[in-house]
Chain A
C-alpha cells in the first residue's frame, strides 16, 4: 500500500498551467539574441508535457503545416533539422512566432495569447527532438491519408479506361 502510494506520487511530474500569464511581453529577438539570458518563462514550457500537447493541437489548428509541413518544411523552413535562422532556443522560437519573420512567416501577436505562442514554441522544440521523450505525445495528430486496408472502398473501373 505504502509502496503503491510512493510509486503513484511519482506520477505528478509537472504542473498543468491552464491560465498562463498573458504579461509581460516577450523580449524581441535581435542580432544579439544569442547572448541574451534565457527568458524566465522558458522553464514553465520547455519539456512540459501538457504545454507540448497543447502546442501540437495549435500547430494543426493554426495550419502551421501549410508551410512547415509536419516538421519537414516546404514553403517554409523545416523545423525538425538543426538549422535555425532566427535561433532555436524556446524563447527565440516564441519571438519568431510572435513577431513574424521575413519572407512569409506571419506575426501572431494579438492573434494568439502569449501562453499559446509559448506552447507552440514548446512543441516546435520537440519536432527536432530537443525535449525529453517522455514529455512528447506518442502519436501524431495528423490522420493517416489512407483508410485501413480492410476498409478501402472498391472503386469500379470504367470500361473505356481499361486498356487491353
Chain B
C-alpha cells in the first residue's frame, strides 16, 4: 500500500507547503475597528453573605466592556500553529486577571495564586472541564486547552470570581483594548465574517462581512453593543 500511495503523499505535501506560514505571502490585509460596549463597569457579583460576621473587602470593578473580535472562518494557514504557547491568568485580589483571555487551541494557561488565601480554579464547560483543587499563595497550576470553545472559569471558594477563556482553532482573533479598539493582522485577500463576543451579549453575537481586497490594506469594522 505504501508503494502505490507514496506519490499522492508527495503531491499533498507540496500543496500544504504552499500554505505554510513560512511560505511567502504576496499580499495580506488587516481588519481594525472599535467595539463600543455600553455595559457599565460594576463590582463583581458576590452572593449576599448573611452568614458573615463582617464586611467583605472592597472589590475592584469588573470591566465587562472587554470583547473578543474574531473571524468566523479563517484562511487555511491560520490553522498551522506549531509552537507551544503559554499564557497566564492570575488570581489576584479575588479576581482573575485578565477577566477575558483569548487563546489558540493547544495553549497552556498558568493559573498562579497571588493572593494570601486559597483559591480553587475550576470549570465545568464543555470545551474543557477541570478542577485544580485548592492551592496557596505563590503556587501555580496549568491547564492545556485543546478544544475550541468558550470556557467559563470559576473559583470554588469565592463565588464572585469568574473569567472567560475563548479557545480558537485559528489565530485570527483579538481582545479589545481599554478603548475598545482591536486589530486583526495578516489576513489574506478574501471575504470574511467578523464576529464579536462580549459577556453581556445574549444570543447571536454581532457580525459583519468584511472584504480584504486583492491589494490588501486595512479595512475598518466598528461594532456597537447595547
Partners in one complex: no
What residues make up the interface of A, taking CB atoms closer than 8 Å to B? Answer: none
